[in-house]
Amino acid sequence: MRSRQSSVKRPDAMNLKQSVQTLWPYITKFKGRVLIAILALIGAKGATLLMPWALKEIIDSVDKSINPLLLVPTLLLIMYGALRFASVFLGEVRDAVFSRVTEHAMRDIGLKVFKHLHSLDLAFHLDRQTGGISRDIERGTSGLSFLMRFLMFNIVPTLFEIMTVAIIFGSLFSIWFALITLLAVAIYIFFTVTVTQWRNRFIRESNAADNQSNTRAIDSLLNYETVKYFNNEQHEAKTYDTFLATWEQARLKNRLSLLALNSGQALIIA
């Protein structure tokens, strides 16, 4: 039974499209909250985009060549302060409203995983993979929350902000400013997606090594009496250190691949 289970090939990780399809039902379940969060998001981004204009007007008002009286209109100062406050406040409103969506999704998926584990046969649980399973559940729930917030609050608003800036550049300066901005963003997205897909194997290796080391530690502690009875502490420590060494190397590869990703992104922006 165990050999047959171990021979089953694990499915590949979901891509972005599959992840969106999986999470979409949880997002649409709270349409009202999602709509309020999106409106707060747009308001926060709008306030952020207007702050440079308000600051420009304030600076112009104290420029001797433009305004010899050196008087800063009170309305401009109030407007700038209001925009800064709105940017932060609406962002907090967005997080507070959308947290109900992410927390409910984490609860629902966590319950499904719990039921699934209880539906597995005895051979699976006799393998005593408690430590690795607990890490998978922990990473899964935190990753779910991160992915939902990333889709709603990073990808969507960033695209909205880029398009708005491109329109401003094209209308106030030249269409070439907008085209250069959009081209740089397209290259940035292509590079990020390509390198991230390449990095996935290092992330999986790191997670697998983390599962193995944690499983070994939990199993050793659960069998504390047996280890003490056979005076096997040194062997257990040596075996655990072997798993930790594998985890250390996997984490190093993961960090180096992240270095390549961040450096490439910085080069494109520069």
Q: What is the CATH number of domain 1-158?
A: 1.20.1560.10
d(CA 134, CA 19): 22
Q: What pLDDT, on the 0 to 100 scale, is given for residue 129?
A: 63
Contact 106, 145 (CB under 8 A): yes
Residue 96 tokens, joined:
């507070």
Q: What pLDDT, on the 0 to 100 scale, is given for residue 85?
A: 92
Domain ranges for the chain, please list them: 1-158, 174-270
Residue 11 Cα distances to 76, 123, 135, angstroms = 58, 21, 18
Q: What pLDDT, on the 0 to 100 scale, is given for residue 6?
A: 40
pTM for this model (two decimals) = 0.57
From first to last of its 270 residues, what are the pLDDT tens digits of the chain?
344 444 444 555 566 666 677 777 777 778 888 888 888 888 888 888 888 888 888 887 776 665 555 556 778 888 888 889 988 898 888 888 888 888 887 788 878 878 887 787 777 766 656 666 776 777 777 777 777 777 777 777 777 778 888 888 888 888 888 888 888 888 988 898 888 888 888 888 888 888 778 777 777 777 777 777 778 888 888 888 888 888 888 888 888 888 888 898 888 888
d(CA 249, CA 238): 17
Contact 264, 187 (CB under 8 A): no
Q: What pLDDT, on the 0 to 100 scale, is given for residue 8?
A: 40
Residue 212 burial (C-beta neighbours within 10 Å; 0-12, 13-18, 19+): buried
d(CA 7, CA 205): 18
